[in-house]
Amino acid sequence: MIPVPLLVFVMGAWCAVYLADTLLKSSVTHRIRYESWLASRGLMLSPFHLRWQTTMFNRLFAYCARINPRAQYLWFNSGLVFGIIAMVGSVVLLAKTLQQTLAQMTTDNPRMGSQQTLQVVIPGVNLPTSQLAYFFSALMLSGVIHELGHAVAALREQVRVNGFGMFVFVVYPGAFVDLFTTHLNIISPTQQLRIFCAGVWHNFVLCVAALAFLFLLPIFLFPVYSTGGGAMVTEVVQGAAADGPRGLSVGDIVTGLEDCAVRGVEDWSSCLSHISHTPQTGYCVPSTSLQPSWAHGRAFKRLDGTMDCCSNNSLTDLCFSYMKPQSKSSREREYACMPVRKMVTGTQVCRVDDNCATAHSTAASICVTPSLENQTRFIRVTHPPNTHMLFVGYPPHLQYAVSLTNFIPRFGFLHLDLPVFLETFCKYVVSLSGALAVVNSVPCFALDGQWMLNALLEATLVTVVTDRQKRELIGFFLLLAGSALLAANVALGLWMVTAR
């Protein structure tokens, strides 16, 4: 559901800007001066749309277009090939995404939403407000690189660039280049394709570059940050189960979850997933510890059918179940309410009693297992040199309560957030630049895909379909189909994000 305060703020800001613009343009004394000020700065304002255009970057574009012409010829030809492949691939991807969205609408499985390749992003709804700076910065960078590709390709094909600009539509930033239409119309379809495909090609290259930087980040930061020694805590949600005197703190290094070693954030996630989908582990304790004085409780069933034996609501005791040593053949289970930290500190994990039989142990041990509600788990979190953090709850809650990083500072003065910033920004660049490459490749009205398709049809069908009107009719129906496919994805995506 769309947050009302955010919607009110955005609508109020745009209404105030548009009202001021209307008043100034209708003023007899200020209209001429105001319109001259807008024109001198290349500004244009319309409802929910602010646009700025300049010619200050034209020399930079011209300089880039003159660098190594032979290499650029190969470069933009590679972009032409990629653009044609991307146009077909984007249609396949959108069709698959639409199928996944329709399947998600008919099921209550929450995991299907995370399996979608493309998702509609709405700030404040499915994008946390804490991530807005990353989102808009990466989106603007992707848009500028996209338009840089168009501008350089156009100058190489002797098409004049009138200017470069940026805009804000509602809350989404973007960029554009203004090309001289007469020059664009008189060049060959192949030359047009190089220009039209250059944007998505540069988005793809930026996506690959950011992905490579992300994978090589541990090498780049190796002199000042180490990896592979655990996952360092960067944030703990206040009031969450992991918070507190015996919980996790910023700067702690997590090295294990039960018997699952944690060498980084990926291990942390995989260990929690493994613990969620496997039965609760037990702990080897000496059988002499299980004495009547240890508050053997009278077991009773919970509402979900599981057993409990602690009725004192103690925060330090937990109900454990184990096989009675005298009746292993009948598999009769006994229950005992025992102090949890004393029972599990320094003990090995087990599944059955046989796991506790060791050659060097003289005392007989048995395997005791926490008796918990369905899907609830007892987890020992290892973060030396501190004692174990003991967590009882749903494992995904622990994952959402703690933010971690793979990078551990080698020196005390280094900031924990630098690797997190670089990682997060690169991930947003990969996602948004890749998404721009896909969406702009779709044969859809008003997108690059429209001009890519028209130029491709002119380059390939001119000898097969000699009538230009028939070629335009074929292009129109293909564009209509592509536009309908993209519109269906956007409409259903918006509905999934805001209505569910």
What pLDDT, on a 0 to 100 scale, did the predictor assign at position 328? 52
> Quick check: 170 and 150 in contact, CB under 8 A?
no
Q: What sign has the CA pseudo-torsion 337, 338, 343, 344?
A: positive
Please say if 472 is a catalytic residue.
Answer: no
pLDDT at position 359 is 46
> In the prediction, which pLDDT does 138 show?
97
- Paired strand residues for 408: 226
What is the model's pLDDT at position 126? Answer: 82
Edge-to-edge strands of the sheet including 402-405?
Answer: 253-254, 231-236, 402-405
SS3 (DSSP) at 140:
helix
Q: Where are the beta strands (DSSP E) in 383-456?
A: 389-393, 402-405, 408-409
What was the pLDDT predicted at 293?
41
Instruction: Name the strand (E) or helix (H) holding 261.
Output: strand 260-261
Read off the pLDDT of residues 339-375 as tens digits, 9 standing for 90 and up. Answer: 888 888 888 888 888 888 764 555 678 888 998 888 8
CB 442 within 8 A of CB 482: yes
Given a cut of 60, whether residue 297 has pLDDT beyond it is no
What pLDDT shows up at residue 373?
82
Residue 300: per-residue pLDDT: 79
Closest to 392 measured CA to CA, from 190, 179, 244: 244
234-283 pLDDT, tens digit each: 999 988 889 988 899 999 999 999 989 999 999 999 999 999 999 999 99
Which helix (H) or strand (E) segment is 114 a member of? Answer: none
Specify the pLDDT at position 435: 95
CB-count burial class (<10 Å; 0-12, 13-18, 19+) for 176: middle
The reported pLDDT for the residue numbered 113 is 52
The predicted model gives 274-298 an average pLDDT of 75
Query: What's the rounded Cα separation, in Å, for the pair 365 and 356?
Result: 6
User: 110-164, pLDDT tens digit by residue?
Assistant: 555 556 678 888 877 788 888 999 999 999 999 999 999 999 999 999 999 999 9
- The tens digit of pLDDT for each residue in 193-218 reads 999 999 999 999 999 999 999 999 99
Q: What per-residue confidence (pLDDT) applies to 500?
A: 59
Q: Which of 147, 258, 334, 458 is catalytic?
A: 147
Read off the pLDDT of residues 394-446 as tens digits, 9 standing for 90 and up: 999 999 999 999 999 999 889 889 999 999 999 999 999 999 999 999 999 99
Question: Chain-wide mean pLDDT for the chain?
Answer: 89
Identify the pLDDT of residue 292.
46
Q: Are 371 and 383 in contact (CB under 8 A)?
A: no
User: How far is the C-alpha of 253 from the C-alpha of 410, rounded, in Å?
Assistant: 13
Q: What local confidence, expressed as pLDDT, does residue 114 receive?
A: 56
Count, residues in the chain: 500
Domain layout of the chain by residue ranges: 4-38, 58-107+115-218+423-499, 226-411
pLDDT bucket at 288, cuts 50 / 70 / 90: confident
Coil vs helix vs strand at 245: coil
